[in-house]
Chain A
């Protein structure tokens, strides 16, 4: 492993001080010695399924965060909580967390259709809220949450659209926006896995609750529950929101009485005329997940949680930095790796052609942004309620189009509060 002369933590604290706007903020940093400072943000986690656990594990390593309380309605999940976060108090009713004045931040990681009451009640209890994505399973719920967030001035509301906080995505975003692909032609994305989406429990009532993703009344389907983060990157880098979606859905692998398709295709139409095709399946894991943006000069592909490569057309201009860049072979194509901080790595004597050994997961960066907002904010996070509402509206409409196997216009009013 490459040895750094400057640790990442020291570097981040240093850069935070530089960008922290003024002496008051800088003084703040000194009080944030870490770990285990009494100024740590005390967080309550609501919902201890796989995502709640991932968030808890990640928060354990985010400076300034402390998981102080965990809520789940099912005893085995609370047993896991005890192992994962022994210091946290455990609750079956989330309102106990909201009533606790020592809890500053609440993370809502329950099934999507349960977000509404929890997020709104948490905001009304004065908590800062991190709400998992999709923000809601109906546009009405999404708007209700958005309105509560808009009214909660002085409080933080962040949605779990984690790629918005990921330095790697931000870096490639700038690159895309500077016109590196030339004239955009189309976009394509996929999310592929081989799994049934079924969840098991010895308790029959619990089985029904656990399998909410397969309940047509509340699910946002594969396009919402699995593909949302990737789709979110698409509107972000393209700089426009889709106006319509054409959906298809089939049950190809798991014909076990379910009504929710295990294989879907959606074609999104954007105002510029560009179309994006997205497919998702639970029937095949081939080629995993990626998004590709095709243009007249090059195609840029995102995959593996933010890695990106550029595939150039032969007639495109040679870029100055290209000769130094790392390339990877993909069958007959050669991709130029787009690394977030190549110059920064160079300054730290880390070979920019290697993978950065200090890189964190997108969830880590998103939670770090949430924590930093407690110290330096509140300011609107990259994934604020507006981004949450847009993504939810698109996912919900796309899922409807898929379920009805039809074309649906996306009402521009669904993207905003009146």
Chain B
């Protein structure tokens, strides 16, 4: 494909990732949020496949395939199972109201783009132009993680954070070989499984996933 098409498609996939992060801040329904996470995973896989196809690197395409299996199929399935088991489709209001959260996300995107200008200028390429999108997703997901009060939504926020970092890893294309990516993904899967088990225990002990229950240990 031509450089221009490549650049456009890459920008498109990066844009979808950011929009998915913003939408996850907006929606209240837990299953919708998990589906948005899956969509973001798909966009991430698209980035990996695009980079691989353009540079003729099979490892990147393989990484993209792994992302599809892990982030679009397996992890959302695990999370949807938790949603079904806790029987609670909605979640409470976040600490800050939704409109403010969303506008905050917009500001964070600009911050991300501004903070990584030096990074982009270091090694100009179509991938470097899309790098700030990964950072933006990281910041937005981190913000969402901090203001939400439901355990499952925190997990989704954490996974979006990881998606953003994986996007930066693929775009930076820097010394992260296939084996390392697989090990990282495995670590991530284990973390999610741990969180799933903890959520199950939380559901049994506290009767819900609202983090307001977790207030015994205070000073």
A and B associate in one complex: no
List chain B positions with a Cβ less than 8 A from chain A.
none
List chain A positions with a Cβ less than 8 A from chain B.
none
